[in-house]
């Protein structure tokens, strides 16, 4: 499992589909979100390095991933705040 609080990195990982998105968790205090990714093959360190070195992603994939992760982040914060779970949605990741 790989976790990051960096939204741009999470968007990159999701858009490139290098790691499978596993969800979001809200840290204590209720406003910091960690993005969780499956990393069974140990690819996270290289993927993060590629991101830091300026790897490219098609714009449509980037914006779709940004929209998806912002929605998941908002849902996680709202769930933490209210204690109510969102109904399971179709998996589009």
- Per-residue pLDDT, 86: 57
- Pair of tokens at residue 43: 């690819």
Determine the Cα–Cα distance for residues 70 and 46; give it in Å rounded to an integer. Answer: 24
- Per-residue pLDDT, 84: 66
- Can you tell me the mean pLDDT for 7-27? 94
Please tell me the least confidently modeled range out of 4-8, 15-19, 26-30, 51-55. 26-30
- Per-residue pLDDT, 92: 43
Residue the block writes with tokens 């912002």: 70
- Per-residue pLDDT, 28: 72
Higher-confidence residue of 85 and 92: namely 85
């Amino acid at each position: 499992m790989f976790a990051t609080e960096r939204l741009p990195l999470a968007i990159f990982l999701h858009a490139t589909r290098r790691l499978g998105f596993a969800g979001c968790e809200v840290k204590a205090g209720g406003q910091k979100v960690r993005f969780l990714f499956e990393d069974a093959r140990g690819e996270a360190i290289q993927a993060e390095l590629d991101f830091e070195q300026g790897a490219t992603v098609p714009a449509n994939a980037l914006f779709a991933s940004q929209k998806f992760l912002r929605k998941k982040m908002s849902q996680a914060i709202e769930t933490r705040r209210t204690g109510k779970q969102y109904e399971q949605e179709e998996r589009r990741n």
